[in-house]
Structure 1
C-alpha cells in the first residue's frame, strides 16, 4: 500500500486499469467455464452403433431426471425446453434414495451400421422392478407407451419374456431418443443391454436352458424323495421335498419364470415372494429336516427341543419384521443365522458324539447360511455384475440340494448296513439253532437205532423160543398136568395185567397231574383254543349249515366260509363255547376240571385261580353239567373234549 501511494497519479491510474482488465478477464473466463460445463451437462448422451457391435451395456449411458412430484408426462419430459434438466448417469444405481419418486431415463441411439438385416432389442434385466414404462417415439412426435413390472399382469407385455425386452425400430443412419419411466421398491442396480436379434436369441436360449437344467435337477431330487416317503413313510422324506419346493418357489419368484408361466395374472404373488415369507418356509423346512436327519442317527431330545425353540424364535422374528419393528437387514441376517446355528450346533454335536461324520450335511447347512445372506444380494453387492449378484444364489441352492441328497444317501447306506448286520446276527442265531437241532436229531436217531436193534434181538429171541415151543409141544401130553398148572398161573397173571391196563386207561381218561399252569402250556391263548376247537369240530368233514355245500375257504379265527353261499361259521358255533363272555382258554380249563375226579375245587378256589367272578365260574360249570346230562357223558370212558361239541341252545 505504501508502495502504491509513493507512485505518481498516472502510474496509479494505469495500475488500476490493469487490475480492472484482469478482473474482467477472470469473470469472463469463469463465465465461459461454467457455461461450458453446463452445456456439457445438458448435452444428450448418444449411443453409437457400428457394424462391429452386437451387444452394448448401456446402463451408464443414460440421462436421468428425478420427478419428485410425479406430475410430468412424456410430452413434457420430451420437450426441448425440458432437456437441460436431465443429468448424466454415472452409477448403475442411477441415484440413491427417493424411492417414492419416479425416475425418467433418456437415451439416444445413433445407428451408424450399414447392415439392414440387424434388428435391435433393449433388455432391462431385473425382474423386481416395480413399474417400468417404455416410450417409443412415433413419427408425429408422440410416444407409444409399453407398461410392465412385477405389479402388473404379465400378459400386458409386448414381448412375453421374463425380463423386460423392447424391440427398437431403428434403421441404419437413423437417430432416435427413447424415454423410460421407472418406479423402484429399493435402491436397485439397473442393468440395460442393447443386443442384436441374433445375440438376443442366443442369450435368451442360454438363460432358459441353464434355468431348465437347474429346475430339472431340483424336480428330479424332489420326485425321488417323494418316492422314498411313499415307500418308507418317514417324515424325513417329506420335510426335504418341502424344502425343495420352497427353494423352487423362491427361485421362480427371483428369476421371473414363475410370473411368466405359473401366476401371470396374479401379480400379488410377486409381492408375497419378495417379502420374507419364502425365506421363512425355507428355514422352517430346513430345521424340521435337520432335526429328523439327526434323530435317525441318534435319539436326542435336546436337539428336538432346541429345534422347536429355533422355529418359535424365527416365527416371532418374522412377525416382528412385518407388524412391529423392521430391523436393518444386516441385524436381521445376523439374528437369523444365530437362531439357525443353535439347533445346527446341537445336532452336529450329537452326530459327532455318535461317531457319525456327515460332511455333506455340514456343508449343505453352510450353503443355507449363504443362501440367507445372498437372498439380500439386491442390497449386498459382492460382485461388480448385477446379474452375477442376482443369480449367484442359484448354484448355492443347487449345491445345497445336492449335498443334502448325498447326506440322505449316506444315511440310507448307514441304515442298510445296520439292517445287514442285524440280518447277519439273525442268520448266525438261526445257524446255531439248526446246529443244535441237528445234534438233537442225531442223538434221537441214535436212540431209535439202538431201540430198533433191541427189538430185533427180542424178535430173534422170540423166534428161537417159538421153535423151542414147537419142540416142547411134542412133550405136552407127557407134561399135561404141568401145563394145566402153568395155564392157571397165566390166567391169574392175565387178570392182574387186565386190572393194570384198566387203571392206566382210567388215568389217561382223567388226565391226572395237570394244574392250570401246565394246562396253559397246552392251551396258552385264544388262538390255540380256537384252532383245537376247529380241528375237533370238522375232523370228519365240513358241511355248510345253510346249504350243505362241502367246499370252503379258511376265514378269520380259524372259521370256515362256504364257497357256495359265502356263509361264515365260527369254530364256537353249536359248541359249549358259543357266545362265551370270558376268555375261552379259561373255559377250556373249567371243562377239563369237570372230567377229573381227583381234583375237587370249590367255586371260590376256581375263581381265584382263573381270576374270574364266582358267578361266572358257577354259570359255566352249570352249563357243563347240562351238557353232560344231555349226552349222557361218562367221565370214566369219555374225554373232556367230547363235551366241547355239545350244543345246548
Structure 2
C-alpha cells in the first residue's frame, strides 16, 4: 500500500488553491465502459460513484465474511442500486461490491474516497494474488487505524494497466445514513487536499476571529448578548469539527467514544445555545412574552426528545425535531422586526441562508439525489460563516441602536437639566426679591411690635388687677363647690340607702331590683359579703386565711386548698337558673309570706312553672325553719333566708351516708 503524503498549505499557493477548487467543481465524471464497471481513464479527473456502479447485499445477522459473500449463492443476492443506498437498518451490515478497470496508461495512483466519516465500522477488501486483503477502520476505532491520515475514509486502488478487479466494502452504522464515495487519482486528490483544508482553515479562522472579537467586546462592555453569541459560535465550531471529521483527526483522535458523544451532543448544544442567543438578541421576553413562553417550552421538549432519540430510540431522523424551534425563532424575529427592532432583519437574512443549506443536508441524509456537488456539500459551512458574520454585525447594530437611544435619552436629560437650571436661576432671583421684601416687612413689623408692646404692657397691668379680683372670687367658688359636692354625695348615699331599705322593706318590681343587683357578679359579691360577714373559716380544717379561687368570689383555704364558692351552703347552692332571678324570687316569696303564685312567678321571671314551684317550696321550707330558730326576729330582713342551707346539707349527708353504706356492703 502506498502512503499518501498530505501537502501543507502555504500562503504562496493561495491563487493556486482557488483555481484547483474551481477545477474540482468543474470536473466531468469518467464514463464507465460498462454499466457496472468503474474505469480509470487518463483524463485525470475524479468522479462520483453513483448507484449504477455497485451492488448491495444486506446482512441482518452481521456475521457474513468475505468468503461467505463470494460464494455463488450469496453473490447472486447482490442487488443493483439505482441510487445512493440508504443504510436504514442500524442492526444490519451492508456489503457493497463494485468492479474497477484500469485504462490509465500513466503511472497514476487511484483512491476510493468514502465521504461519511461517521460510519461506525468500515472494512475494505482489496484483491490480492491469494485472496483478499482487509483494511479495518471506522468511527468506533482510533484514528490511527485509517490507511491514510485523512478526515474521510481513503483506500488505495492498486490495479495494473488493462486489468479488472472486484472490490468489496462492508459498512455498519449505528445511525441511518447513505453511501457516498468518489474515485480520485493522486494529482487531483492532492489538489483537493490543498483546497479543502485551506477553505476549512479559513472557515475555522473566521469562527475563531468572531469568538475572540465578541469575547473581547463582552469583557469590555459586559453585555450578556455577546457572551451568548460567543457560546453559539463555539457550539457551531464544535458541530462542524465533529461533522467534517477534523476534530477526530486533530483533537480527539485517540478517543472514539468521545467522538461519538460529540457527534450526538453537538447538534443539541447548538440548538440550546442558538435559542438562548436568539431570545436575548430579539428581547422576546419583553417584546413577545407569550411567544417567548412557547419558544422556551418547545425548545425544552425538543432537547428532551433529541436526547431520547440519541440514547434510546436512535431513529436517525431526529433532525426533523430542529425545525419547529427554528421556525418559532424565525416567526419571533418577524414579529420583533414589525415592532421596530431593525437589527432583526439580519437574523432573518442569516437564517434564510442556513435554511437553504439545511435543505441540501436533509436531502443527503434521506439519500435523495438533489444537486449533490462540492458547493452543496459545503454550503452549510459557507452559510454559517455568512451567518456568524451577519449576526455579529447585527449585534453591533443592535448595541449601536441601544447606544443611540441611550444618547438620545441623555440628550433629553441634559435638556431637562438645562431647563431645571434656568428655573433654579429664576427661583434664586425670586428668592432674593423675596428676601428684600422680607427685610422691609421685618423693619415695619418691628416698629409695629414696639408700639403694640407698649399697648400690651398697659393692658397687662389692667388684667393683673382683674386677675387678683378673680382669684378672690375663685376661692369663694371653690368653697361653694366643695359644699355642693359633699351635699351631692350625701344625697346619693341617702338615695342608695333608701332604695336598699325599700327593697328590704317592701315589694319592688324586677326592673328596680335589677338596678341594685344588675348581674351575676353583683349577686355573688353581695352573697359572699353576707356569707362571710363575720370572717372566713375553712369548713374542713378551720383555718382562717384564704386566697381567691378559680370561680368569681370563691375562696380557697391556704392550708388544705379546699375551695368554697359564694353559693355553697346557701339557699342558691346548685341553683339551675339565673342567680339574679333566684335572688328576686326569694325576695318576692319572703315579701308575700310564701303566698306568691308559681304561675305569676313563671310569667314574671320567664321560667318554667315546675321550676318556680319547686324553688318556692324550697324557700318556704327555709322560711319555716327560720321562724323556728331562736334568734328569729319579726320583720327581719329577707336576706337571712339566703344563708339557710339545711336542705342542701341534708342532701349532702344522705349522699355521704349512702356512699359509706355502699362501701361497707
TM-score of the pair, normalised by structure 1: 0.53
Q: Is the 8 A contact 1:298 1:354 kept in 2?
A: no
CA 1:358–1:202: 2 relative to 1, 3 Å: same
Corresponding residue for residue 312 of structure 1: 300
Is 1:106 matched up with 2:93? no
- SS where residue 91 of structure 2 aligns? coil
Aligned 8 A contact 2:121 2:139 in 1: yes
Q: 1:316 to 1:101 in 2, by over 3 A?
A: closer
Task: Give distance in 2, aligned partners of 1:355 and 1:101.
Answer: 52
1:362-381 pair list within 5 angstroms: 362-367=348-353, 376-377=362-363, 378-379=365-366, 381=368
> Following TM superposition, by how much is the alpha carbon of 1:235 offset from its aligned partner in structure 2, in angstroms?
1.6
Task: Determine the structure 1 residue equivalent to 2:452.
Answer: none
From 113, 125, 134, the equivalent of 2:124 is 134
Which residue in 2 is equivalent to 1:158? 147
Please report how far the alpha carbon of residue 69 of structure 1 lies from its aligned counterpart in structure 2 after TM superposition. Answer: 3.5
Q: What is the CA deviation profile of residues 528-567 of structure 1, one whole-angstrom value per residue up to 9, with x for unaligned ones? A: xxxxxxxxxxxxxxxxxxxxxxxxxxxxxxxxxxxxxxxx
How big is the shift at 1:261? 1.1
Q: How does 1:168-179 map to 2 (within 5 A)?
A: 168-179=157-168
The match for 1:121 among 106, 111, 123 is 111
- Distance (whole Å) between structure 1 residues aligned to residue 92 and residue 298 of structure 2: 40
Return closer, same or farther for 1:288/1:86 CA change in 2, 3 Å cut-off: same
User: Equivalent of 1:232, from 190, 199, 221?
Assistant: 221
Mapped to 2, the partners of 1:189 and 1:386 lie a distance apart of: 15
Q: Of 254, 279, 294, which aligns to 1:291?
A: 279
Assess if the C-alpha contact under 8 Å between 1:298 and 1:350 holds in 2. Answer: no
- Maintained 8 Å contact 2:101/2:164: yes
Number of residue pairs aligned between Structure 1 and Structure 2: 397
Any conservation in 1 of the 2:333–2:344 contact (CA below 8 Å)?
A: no
Is 1:385 aligned with 2:382? no
Q: Deviations over 1:557-610 (max 9, x none)?
A: xxxxxxxxxxxxxxxxxxxxxxxxxxxxxxxxxxxxxxxxxxxxxxxxxxxxxx
Residue 401 of structure 1 is matched in structure 2 by 388
Q: Distance in 2 between matches of 1:374 and 1:384?
A: 8
Query: Aligned residue for 2:401?
Result: 414
Map 1:141-540 onto structure 2 (within 5 A).
141-186=130-175, 188-275=177-264, 277-295=265-283, 301-302=289-290, 304-322=292-310, 329=317, 333=320, 336-342=322-328, 345-346=331-332, 348-354=334-340, 356=342, 358-367=344-353, 376-377=362-363, 378-379=365-366, 381=368, 383-385=370-372, 390-425=377-412, 428=415
2:53 partner SS? coil
In 1, Cα distance between equivalents of 2:307 and 2:291? 24
Give the equivalent residue in structure 1 for 2:45.
54
Q: 1:195 to 1:368 in 2, by over 3 A?
A: closer
1:76-112 CA distance string (max 9 Å, x none):
5456x56852646333434665543323333333323
Looking at CA atoms only, which structure, 1 or 2, has the larger radius of gyration? 2
**3-state DSSP class of the match of 1:165?**
strand
Return the alpha-carbon distance in structure 1 between the equivalents of residues 87 and 289 of structure 2. Answer: 50
Secondary structure of residue in 2 paired with 1:208? helix
The Cα offsets for residues 276-321 of structure 1, whole Å up to 9 and x where unpaired, read as x323222221222122223399666546544433433333433554
Structure 2: distance between partners of 1:48 and 1:307: 54
Cα 1:358–1:432 shift into 2, 3 Å? same
Cα distance, 1:342 vs structure 2: 4.2
SS in 2 for 1:241: helix
RMSD (Å), alpha carbons: 3.9
SS, match of residue 205 in structure 1: helix
Answer whether contact 1:313 1:339 (CA < 8 A) is retained: no
Report deviation, 1:245: 1.4
* Partner Cα distance (1:259, 1:372) in 2: 23
Question: Aligned partners of 2:185, 2:378: CA distance in 1, in Å?
Answer: 23
Distance in 2 of aligned mates of 1:71 and 1:409: 58
Call closer, same or farther: CA 1:355–1:192 in 2, change over 3 Å. closer
Please give the alpha-carbon distance, in whole angstroms, between the structure 1 residues aligned to 2:340 and 2:103: 72
Distance 1:136 1:325 in 2: 36
Q: CA deviation at 1:201?
A: 0.6
Please give the per-residue CA displacement for 1:418-465, whole angstroms capped at 9, x wherever unaligned.
24324544555676688899999999xxxxxxxxxxxxxxxxxxxxxx
Q: C-alpha separation between the residues in 2 aligned to 1:103 and 1:237?
A: 47
CA 1:325–1:166: 2 relative to 1, 3 Å: closer
Superposed CA deviations along residues 401-428 of structure 1, whole A, max 9, x for unmatched, are: 2332222121122123224324544555
3-state secondary structure, aligned to 1:103: strand
CA deviation string 1:325-370 (max 9, x = no partner):
678948x73x653444446545643453346463112233445656
1:154, distance to aligned residue in structure 2 (A): 0.8
* Structure 2 CA distance for partners of 1:442 and 1:236, relative to 1, 3 Å: same
Aligned partner of residue 112 in structure 2, secondary structure? strand
What is the distance in 2 between the residues matched to 1:324 and 1:188? 18
